[in-house]
Amino acid sequence: MSLRALRRARFHSICAAAVLVSAGLVSPRAGLAQESDYFTKKLAPSVGTPEHAVDKMLEAAQLKPGETLYDLGCGDGRILVKAAKKYKVKAVGIEISRDLAEQAAEDVRKKGLEDQVKVIHGNFLKTDLSAANVVTLYLAPTANDALRPNLERELKPNTRVVSYDYPIDGWSPLNTWKMSGHLGDVHVIYLYRVPDSIKK
């Protein structure tokens, strides 16, 4: 098995276990809890999107000045900061890890972007997404599955959803782009638009 395949398998197994626990199907004590906060509300591990992929995701989103981007699971806030600086949009990040949310907010302060960027320490499954024009995701299939009903219920027409590496099952992408990773591995960016991408 390649290094990439191993990383993917680990990413998937962490996310699958987290979703089972969130759904109350598995106890966090049931031998799974090496990384305990994955097993409450955390639906994806903390791995930042590579900068060249962030650039492509933002370009794919076709952001216009004055629009609002939501990054669900914003990590260190790299997508928020780049979107605000380059595209003059508002950006909102939701992050379950207190440390990462504080790190992202600190970076926003340092860069003087507080008027444009807001970082919320919270659970994206419990956040109202209706103000978004663009949603960015780097989660996992299981997390995308958990999020999909919220996206379908709350996003307004013409909202774009851009996902790195993992598609939203049941939706049809408008476009996809393949990107090379640092190890020569291949990553995919998926662009969706509501409501056209939602299969009936």
Ligand X SMILES: C[S@@+](CC[C@H](N)C(=O)[O-])C[C@H]1O[C@@H](n2cnc3c(N)ncnc32)[C@H](O)[C@@H]1O
Interacting residues toward ligand X by CB under 6 A:
41-49, 71, 73-75, 78-79, 94-97, 100, 123-125, 138-139
Report in angstroms how near the CB of residue 43 gets to ligand X at its nearest: 4
Tell me whether residue 159 or residue 163 sits nearer to ligand X (CB atom): 163
Tell me whether residue 92 or residue 194 sits nearer to ligand X (CB atom): 92
Q: Is 98 exposed, middle or buried (0-12, 13-18, 19+ CB in 10 A)?
A: exposed
Report in angstroms how near the CB of residue 142 gets to ligand X at its nearest: 11
Tell me whether residue 28 or residue 45 sits nearer to ligand X (CB atom): 45
Report in angstroms how near the CB of residue 55 gets to ligand X at its nearest: 12
Name the residue among 22, 43, 57, 19 with its Cα closest to residue 165.
57
Report in angstroms how near the CB of residue 114 gets to ligand X at its nearest: 20
Tell me whether residue 74 or residue 194 sits nearer to ligand X (CB atom): 74
- Cα 16 to Cα 43: distance, rounded to the nearest angstrom: 8
Distances from the Cα of 149 to the Cα of 37, 43, 54, angstroms: 24, 15, 25
H or E stretch at 188: strand 186-193
